[in-house]
Each structure stands twice: as C-alpha cells, then as structure tokens.
Structure 1
C-alpha cells in the first residue's frame, strides 16, 4: 500500500487495538509475513524500537514491562522469527512479566494441516509456544483481531501475570478491511483475592507463633505488595528474608531485614527453625530454598498466585491469591487478632528477641564471608552500588557479579534468574530505558555480552541512555567455577572475544576500559552522561563458598 492510499488493513486493526489498550511503545524485528504490521505502524502514533534479533526484541519488551508495570507488546515474523523469542518468553513466564507477543503466520490457505511450502512454514507454530507462554490466541479473520488482542492483554495482566501470544496470518494483516477504526478496548483483569477462611487461619497461626518468619518472593514485587509486607512484618515483629527475585520487596537496612543470603546455611537454618514460616510470592524453588536443602520444621503458610507452585515443594496452608490482596487482608486480620489477644492478656504483642536474632544471623553471614579472600568481589559490587543513581534501574546477566548481587545487592534489581538464560541484560535495559528515559545500567560478563553486541546499534540508533558494564574474565566464569569444583578442570568455558571498547566505538557508542580501583568513578561518569556507553572491566571474580553444603 502506498503512502497516498487511505484503505485500512488488518495491520491497522492490530496497531489501533494496541494503542486503544494503552500501548505507547512496540518492539520488533521485520520479516516477510509481518510487513503488513510494520506498514501499519507508520500510520500510527506508537513508538517503534527495532532490535537486531528476535531474542533481543522479546527481552527488550520484558525490560520495558518490568519498568512500567504494564503490558508491553512486540511484533515479529513467522517461523524462525517467532521461535527466536522463546527463550525470552520463558524468562517472562518464570518472572510473571506481562509481555504481549504478536506474531505473523503464513497465509491462511496453508494452515490446518495443508503443507503448501510457504517460507517459514510450520505444521503448528502456536504449539511451540503453548508450554512457554501463559496463553495462545489464534486469529483467522480481521474481525477476530481486536477481541483477541484485548483478551490476551487482560490475561497477561491477570495474576499471575505473564507473557501471551497472538498469531495472525499474513493475508489477514494485508487485506483491506471495512471494520471501523478501533477507538476503545476495555479490559478488566480478574482480581485473585484470598478466601476469607484461609486468611483467618493464616492470621491465627501467625499470631500464636512464638517466632514467625517471612520469606518474600518476586510475587511481592510484581504485585506491588511492598507496603503491605512492611505493615505485616512490623505488626508481627517478624524477620523478613527476600528471595533473589524480590529485591526491593522489603527495606534492606530495616531492623527486621534478613536480606537475601539464601545460599548461606545460617539463614537457611533460621528459616527452618521458624515455628510458622510465611512464604509470599515464591514457590520455594531451587534458588529460594538453598538448592532444596531447606527443611522447614514448623508450619508453612504459602501465598502464591500461580496454582502449580502451591505446596509444590513443601506442604502447608496454601493460599491461592495475589500477594498484595492477601497481605493487605492478612495484615488487617493479624492486627485485629493481636489487639484482642494483647488486651485480654495484658501483654505486649512484639517479639523482643526478633531483631536481636536478625542481627545475629547477619553477623554470622558476614563472619563467614570475612573468612574467605573475597575483598575484590565485595568492593566491586559496592562500587557499582555507589555509582548507580538512587532510583536508576539495573539489569543483570547470568554472570558472577550478578550472582553476588543476588545475595548482596541492597536495592531493586532485575536479572534473568527466572529461566537462567544468557543475553538478558542489555536488551532488557534498553527496553527499560525506552520507558524511563534512563539512565539504566546493564551488567554482563564477556560470555553473556556476546549475545547482545548487535544491540549496540539499537542503542546508538535510538540514543537510549544505557550504560553497559562488561566484566571480562575471558570466558564463562561461573561455569568455569562450577566445572572446576565438580570435575577438577573446566571444559568449553574459555572464549576468544573482541576488544569490547573498540567494538562499541565502531558502533558510535562511547566506551572505555577501567580497573577495580577506577570502576566507581568511571561508571558514575558514564551513567551521568546522556546516551549509551560501555565500560569494560577486565577482572576474574570468584564466588563465595557454597555454604549450602555446610552443616
């Protein structure tokens, strides 16, 4: 369709629907069957950010959705293009991030089992997504486009949030349509409220407990339940530990904060000894249970929005609910129950020993770290923390410095630990920068950085305010450690890599090498300078000892 034509197409219905649903930015990568979508974009007010690979497109949408707290759409083409997003959608699903994938499909006359030999043809493209995304919506006519997108958007936001896929054939996207322009689409995500009798039972257990403890998971952050968690913890005077995916769920320096040292046996033991352990927004998976070594000896109360995670690792009182709604009701119930009980007994309701116990656990953790030669690692993480502006978001790849950050980073952070794939940090950070304007920090190792080098062009083209810190240790550092510990030597972990600073400069992105001593000042300067930048730190880091194996 030429610029002068006025006829509208199925592609227009898509972009009109996205705008009506509240989208402002769309990420994407063009492809043959999706050209009707991209042509329609130029007739819309949606901002388009084009990445260089489909994997980065989906990671960027994930980062944008985490930054905005709402649905972010992306558009890709059929077959290889669509399938290239699967690792990123797996991360979004694991982390409950609302991403809307819009994929083209071959023309409708090649569907339904007919193999006509179209380019990118798959027998059942949607089947590849059904075990990865939250829901799949297959469109076959123009009239189905707006309803399908609205239904997908609503499901993406409904607790537990997650990614969804809408698939539309090429001919439907290109065909002219007489359907009126989409002006308004209303969605109403269903609230997942807790059952009253379960709230009452949980409140009774917590009020009667001698040493209740709370483990807050990523669901607290995604649900915006931080205030309710703080209120409940203070009402109970209950210590709070946060999982690696729940940074920012609870104030790091609060007297009740156990922080996030989940791989340390001292914290594991403390959680095990609680007579009531309240787990909120976590399935108590591998990374949240010290590699499944934690064995709670008291009662477990688990609040979780994803049904399949309830009691999946430990039996207990299961509360299927959104974390914010459940914590708000539980805080009210506990406050009422404690007031009545304390008035009847004439005794105060606080645990006088709770805060002392928290200090004792953190002192033991610090002593264990002090006994290891880890000054470099601890100083580097502290330098990054000091250099990063207070409210600036950060996105971390699966690299040793990120593994340190999971335990020791004192503020909100986003990482790929939901699914554990490489290449997350830079595209997710550029997605967040498109939402916030920046500055945004991305942290990668040299192995993970190789996944995202092409997105230096995206940073430059869109002038996105992202600073990319690359810790260059010559290979897959964490895998090197794992293999050396397990087998005595590492295989396949050493990597040839480019001069990252010179390569960034070739993309028009300012870059420089730094040292451990200069990291803070160099990183702070890069973050203060508008636009993209790269800071390369040659350093070989070590992890702290695997204390989950200790007694």
Structure 2
C-alpha cells in the first residue's frame, strides 16, 4: 500500500525518539492505526477506556521523563482524555495527545453532520493542555508534530494536543519518508542578576529553610539541592510532589508532613525561605494557612506561578540550573548542629501528635507496603486514605512515588502503573481504594493482554473513604459514600489475574510475594483506615 498521512505521523514520532505509543482506535483514526501496524519497531500499548489510556501515557512519561505519544479518535474518544490530561498538566507530565478529526471540509464552520463531530474540538482542550496544534494538510504533519513535541518537552513540561483530520490521515503522504526531525528544547537558566540577589539573600540569612517541590525531581536536581542545603546548613522539607528530592533520613531533612501545623510553623519561621520547583499551592501551603514572616526566594520553570500566592524574589528557571548557580554563589557555612537540632525537634513534635491519635493500624499498613517493595520499584497512588498518608509519610528513597494530587481525580493508580510497567518492564505497584478501583477495573484486561508486571493493592473499606471522613467531619453524617462493590479477587480471577485476599497481619508478605512474581497481580486488603487529625489546626 502507498504511504499515507498516518505513515507521516508514525515516521515523525520515531524520528523524534518515540519507541512506544499508547493508542485506542476509532473510525476517524483508522489511518493512524494502519500506519502503526506497518511499524513493528514502534510498540503500541492499548487500553479499554480513553481516560485510562491517557493515565497510562502519563505514567510512562513520568517514569521515562520523555515525551510520550497517545493516539485517540474524534469526539467522545478525545473528550474522555480531558480529566487525565488535567492531571498531566498539574504534574508536568509531557504527554503528546494526538486526536483524529472529522474531514477537512467539516473544520472551521464548513460541512456538518459527521459522526463524532464537535463545533470546536480544539476549544475543549485549550484550557487543559499547554498548547493545541491543528494539521490541515499532510505536508504540515512533521513540523506540527515537532512543534508540539518541543512544547511538551520545554520547561515546565506538560501535555499538548494535536488534531489531524480523517482524510489527511488516509490521503497520500505527499512527502518522502521522514527519518530525521531534530527537535530543539531550550535550556532555562536563571538571569545572572536574579541569581546574584537570591544568593545574597540566602547567604545573609540566619535561619534559611528550603521547601523542595516536584520541579526539583523532574529536573533531576537532587545533587544540587543537597549541595546547597549542606552549604547553607538549611533544613529541607519537601512537598508531596517533591518526594525524593532530598534524602528522607538526611540530618537536614524535615520530610514532608505539610498537612501538620508544626511543619507549617517551621516554614513560617524562616527568615529566608527558598521554594524550589513549587508554586506554593493549596497543599504545599497547608490549605493556604501558611503565613511567612521572612523573605521568600521562589524558583520555578513556570513564570505564572512566581509570586502568585506570596510576595517573592522570583527566579524563572529550571530548578537544576538555578540550584547549580546558587551552589556556585553561596559560601559554605561551618556546621554547628543548630539546623539538625531544629529538624529533630520538628520531627519529634510531628511524631508526638501522631502517637496521641491511636493511628497504629494506619502507620503499620503504610510501613508494610513500603517494606514490601523491591529497591527501585515505583508506585502509583489513587486518591484514597492510604494515598493521603503516603503524601506525608512515604520514604521515596529507592521507591519513587507518583500520585494524582495534582488534579485530584480518581482512577489514576492502576492505568498509570501499567504505563510505568511498559516503560520499565516492572515490577510496579498500584494502590487504590475500592471506589477508585472501579474506575479502572477494565484495565486488568490490558495488563493481561500486554503482560505488564503490575501488582495492584486494593484497600477495600466499603466506600469513598476520604469523602466519608470529609462529610462526617463537616456535617456529622455522610451521603453517597457507601458503595456496593464486587468480589475483587474473584473479578481479577475472571480476567486471568492472580489475586490474594490479604489481612493486616499478612499484607507485607502477600505484597512482597506478588511483586516478586512476574505479571499482573491483585492484592485485596479489607480494612477501614483513618486520616490523622488535625491537618491544619493550631500547633
């Protein structure tokens, strides 16, 4: 068969460096999937529902740190990806969404009445993704895809959207085979004068503290952060998205108990607070109760976040490049033990609060999950009570953690873990509650079909557990949170997936055994867990 527009898409993706595409076919996208069939060196990973497909692409992108293509069809298929792309935008995951479109004649107010047609499909994506790109002729495909790829990869990374009409995908390629598509992703160093002023403030601080966010992790700036913290003798706390930015047990590590008022007060007491790779949003500011008394130096690749919530000296830069510049400019201090003692005191106050709340069950369950993971195993967490605990208490050293706390939608855990397993070969852990599990249960078929090495822990507490707590706390009663649910182990077996009904006493061994055995597994833990309280009251 002669080359078609779909072949240009596939050739361009390969030339840009893609080796895996996440895709779910549809009528208008047939040209794309025929081209994928003819490209055996480009792996195609499917899914059962488009939102889960987009979560899987997100998990792959977070794990590899590279732009990850996702292909869906027009209208309903495209729209189902929106909630997942919102999470990718919040978490700066570089997903390259490619959607088909009605024929060119139906674009821009032309001929109407096509299947899946929307008056303006692009408009649905404009406020969700970083950029939207439209192809109208085959000759535009390589350069439009390169432009979109560069947009997704440029700091701050994030999802982008490309639309290609059905007749362009099915029509003649009109260009020679594409083998070289050089993409240019510019670095984002800090302005020298701004770096000088940030270094001056930090060097003169008597009580400097660092809050490290997800931008540090995405930039691979852990070594630069540690060098700066040790030079300044500055305690480091991490946001929930910044887990893994700084050693959990380092003497300067205040860890990430940001929903505890003691940690908020610790950050407020800094005379200079360096916020690296965080926008100081709702969760990072303890629900906007954070009230700093000193100066803030904020490093972020997204200029729109600088000073958005507090007055700052804004450093618009990639976190690694900015931190490296500060390391060069800040003189090293002699250790005197004051910072280490302050950190030890903070963590002792946090532990004392937890010890007073009868939370031994919750702390044990999370500790056993962490202990069951082989070194280097990533985990992907839904919005569930155990996931909320992991935000604060998870030690990400040697166990990278990814959560849906960027946008906060349900159903992230399993499909994102499947994408990560496609990236690494596994093992990967997914964690969901029984409510969130029902969003992605169909993807057990995907796990089997692609033999993806994911162990899925489902904590079955009979409902939407965190919403049960929120409603009860606010109104003394709960509504619409109690759920009829299936026998998860039997349902897994129906998909051909090995399943274990665990208990608090056997969880660690059950998880470790599942993770050590290749292929998909489900571990069900019937347990009703509680959150720690208060989250942001007085210390």
TM-score computed with the length of structure 1 as normaliser:
0.96
1:382 maps to 2:340: no
Aligned equivalents of 2:253 and 2:97: distance in 1?
Answer: 38
Tell whether the 8 Å contact from 1:427 to 1:452 is kept in structure 2 after alignment: yes
Q: 1:283 aligns with which of 264, 275, 279?
A: 279
1:30 maps to 2:20: no
| Corresponding residue number in structure 2 for 1:345 | none
Aligned equivalents of 1:237 and 1:366: distance in 2?
Answer: 23
1:444 maps to 2:439: no
Q: 2:10 aligns with which of 15, 21, 41?
A: 15
Q: 2:414 aligns with which of 426, 430, 443?
A: 426
1:535 maps to 2:523: yes
Aligned equivalents of 1:177 and 1:263: distance in 2?
Answer: 55
- Post-superposition Cα deviations, 1:390-449, rounded to whole Å, max 9, x if no partner, equal 101100000000000000001130000000000001000000000100000000000000
- Post-superposition Cα deviations, 1:474-524, rounded to whole Å, max 9, x if no partner, equal 000000000000000010101100000000000000001000000000000
What is the alpha-carbon root mean square deviation over aligned residues?
A: 0.8
Q: 1:489 aligns with which of 467, 470, 477?
A: 477
| Corresponding residue number in structure 1 for 2:306 | 310
Aligned pair count?
A: 535
Tell whether the 8 Å contact from 2:138 to 2:174 is kept in structure 1 after alignment: no
Aligned equivalents of 1:547 and 1:115: distance in 2?
Answer: 55
Aligned equivalents of 2:272 and 2:362: distance in 1?
Answer: 35
Aligned equivalents of 2:222 and 2:120: distance in 1?
Answer: 42
- Post-superposition Cα deviations, 1:289-347, rounded to whole Å, max 9, x if no partner, equal 11100101000000011111110111010111111110011111113xx5xxxxxxxxx
Q: 1:393 aligns with which of 363, 372, 378?
A: 378
Query: 5 Å matches for 1:125-204?
Result: 125-204=121-200
| Corresponding residue number in structure 2 for 1:504 | 492
Aligned equivalents of 1:299 and 1:111: distance in 2?
Answer: 51
Aligned equivalents of 1:100 and 1:62: distance in 2?
Answer: 10
Runs of 5+ in structure 2 lacking a partner? Answer: none
Name the stretch that deviates more: 175-184 or 359-368: 175-184
| Corresponding residue number in structure 1 for 2:110 | 114
1:233 maps to 2:241: no
Deviating runs (4+, > 2 A) in structure 1?
A: 348-352
Aligned equivalents of 1:547 and 1:349: distance in 2?
Answer: 36
C-alpha deviation, 1:540, in angstroms: 0.3
Aligned equivalents of 1:184 and 1:106: distance in 2?
Answer: 29
Tell whether the 8 Å contact from 2:91 to 2:406 is kept in structure 1 after alignment: yes
Tell whether the 8 Å contact from 1:476 to 1:493 is kept in structure 2 after alignment: yes
Query: 5 Å matches for 1:505-520?
Result: 505-520=493-508
Q: 1:90 aligns with which of 86, 91, 106?
A: 86
Q: 2:393 aligns with which of 392, 396, 408?
A: 408
Tell whether the 8 Å contact from 1:236 to 1:350 is kept in structure 2 after alignment: no
SS of alignment partner, residue 17 of structure 1 = helix
C-alpha deviation, 1:350, in angstroms: 3.6
Tell whether the 8 Å contact from 1:236 to 1:351 is kept in structure 2 after alignment: no
Query: 5 Å matches for 1:225-304?
Result: 225-304=221-300
Runs of 5+ in structure 1 lacking a partner? Answer: 339-347
- Post-superposition Cα deviations, 1:47-71, rounded to whole Å, max 9, x if no partner, equal 0011000001100000001110101
C-alpha deviation, 1:223, in angstroms: 1.0
- Post-superposition Cα deviations, 1:215-237, rounded to whole Å, max 9, x if no partner, equal 00111111111111011001101
C-alpha deviation, 1:112, in angstroms: 1.1
TM-score computed with the length of structure 2 as normaliser:
0.98
